[in-house]
Structure 1
């Protein structure tokens, strides 16, 4: 590549760089919080959210801020309300330039050459004038109690004037309202007094309701405790009755067990006697066996004696026939004697065994008869004792026994009261006829005692007056006789 070509390329690149640098210096960008007003040989135009090339000499530009402006609206002089009351109102206003190009051009026409202080002073004068007019149409109560209504009126009133300046009210807030005559302070006193009065009335009513509910709760608790005590007394009375019934059943069972034990002892004694007799019979049978053995031994002795005589005959050289005849005779005699002895032993043994079996049978029957007789005799004696006891207890005696034990019944019914650790008596002073305080406890005990005659009447089926009429003086019964002797 030649040198001339390189020079040409370098010059082109340099010219391009110079061109782009010049265009970059002429290009102006608008920030998100501002608008660029371009004016010159053409009509004024607004540039927002972008940029434009500004040709020098023939065009120029100015930046207009779109940021929110906040300032106090506090007139130096007092404002008079509809009631003629002088008040001082301090408010805060937020104003900004509207976003459309026409409003931006209007705001640029009004404020582009003014400083921020001058701009704020112009807007404040407009706002204070409208605020004065609005306050004059309202009462102090409306200004204090309805600040949002005041702010809404303020925005609606200022809308036209600020629109003509390309502005809009973003927010208007009343910060403080005060007066020199303490009108606002005194304005709330009736409400404070009414609220305080209502609060005191509500507190008194609440205390009254609490006291009533507490009294009702205590009364219900006392009623429930009395009912519980009554149920407990009834349950304890029923428990005592069941205990007495259980004790009676236990005594009956003990008596039955005692009678059964005695019966078994008697049977054991009879069985022992029977066993003793059986053993004695067995001893007799063994003795008979011994006698039989002795007799068998005697037979053997006799056989030995016969053998001895036979030998003597042989030794004395008897004749063979005589010896043989004698031997046969002796053998027959011995056989006959042995058979006789065996028959006698067997007969004696059979006789002894039959006598023992008969004795055992007789003793068993006698033992069973004795047991049956003793059982019947014991039952008859028990029935006689019960009959005598029932004959001695006449109706008058039974009534006397019931009335005598009346004190025990009353004591059993009142015994739960002795276990009470603490009694709380609630008295409203309105009881009639029942007494107050500790006398009510005595009255309740008296009522418990008064229920005993009714209990006896329900048990006997007779009125108490009839039962009292049947009581006669009872004399102590002597140990040897069951008759009743008068004093």
Structure 2
């Protein structure tokens, strides 16, 4: 019984394993499993597509209910062989290669699965058609020269134009290369002809230059060869001449030996004479010239020493004078600068003092002016009051006032009359003491005459202060003799100013 149960369990396990193997599918790294037969949600591709995408892992598939197909993710290659026409109207054939594959994302795999799942062998042809159309369009806007010189531009524009359609197909471009541009009309070959001709020209010029240089080198080599030949022949001739000279000398050896012997005798005698002359000259040098040279050297040395001493003394004196002059100039400059600074300071101080003094003097002058003005005003007021009082007194008792003034001024009048005699150096009196008495009596009579004149003047002043006219004969002319009193006998200041009657017009404005 146990064996039966164990066998049944083993059989069930085998069945389960078999079923699991039948249902389990694993996606290889270079493929994608497309599982269809039920509704599945695929991110980015919409809902209800009816298939599921599995990459790089395993999944369970229900046999009979779901179908599993594989989409290759390997690289694919499409050969390009496209006939195009450039913007110049020149037909060309462009050969290239496109390497592409299905994208790794589920969107690209879904797009490729819906288009190429059963036609994976036709993918290269479809890609060729896509690139052929875009390549013809792009070549139609370029010239042959642009295509030749800038293939990167052609490649980049073709790849950019085909990228959107390849993305819709679920494909991505790994690489695109333009391998060859075939020109059936020979346009490209003709483009190369000028360059080839230029290259050939440069090659011929280079060859001609090389030939010229080679010819010059050959000529120089030939010239050097000729020069070497000439030098060799000249040297050979020289050697031959030397050989001939030696032969001739050999033939003349005997006579030459005799002549040489005689010559040697003459030479030796000449040398003896020269030695004797040199001995005499040296003796002359020792006896005469050396002492003379010594004396001359002594004299010259002494003179040069004295000259050098004088020059040194003069230079020292000049240097001392220069230093003294420099020191004196520095001292004078410093003193001048100090004097200038002191003068400037004194000038500033004097200016300030002058300003202060002027201000003080102005203030003092102003004060003195104010004081003098006040004093003058007070004096004027006092004099006006005095004049007013005297005028009142005169109007009441003229004789008393005049008598008082004359009495007060009588000593000055007498002194003035007496001083007039001080200027007289010699006085002659005809009648002695009587004449002297008469003279003094006349001098004293002047006082009474003055009193009479004052009274007459006062009598001419009316009650309202107006002077009345009086007859000219009112005062006798002979009352006082003109020559009785000297002109300077009575000083002008002997009579006070305020004794003169004051008319109303002479009074101060405040007293009118």
- State if a TM-score over 0.5 links the two structures: no
TM-score, normalised with respect to structure 2: 0.42
TM-score, normalised with respect to structure 1: 0.44
Q: Is the radius of gyration larger for structure 1 or structure 2?
A: 2
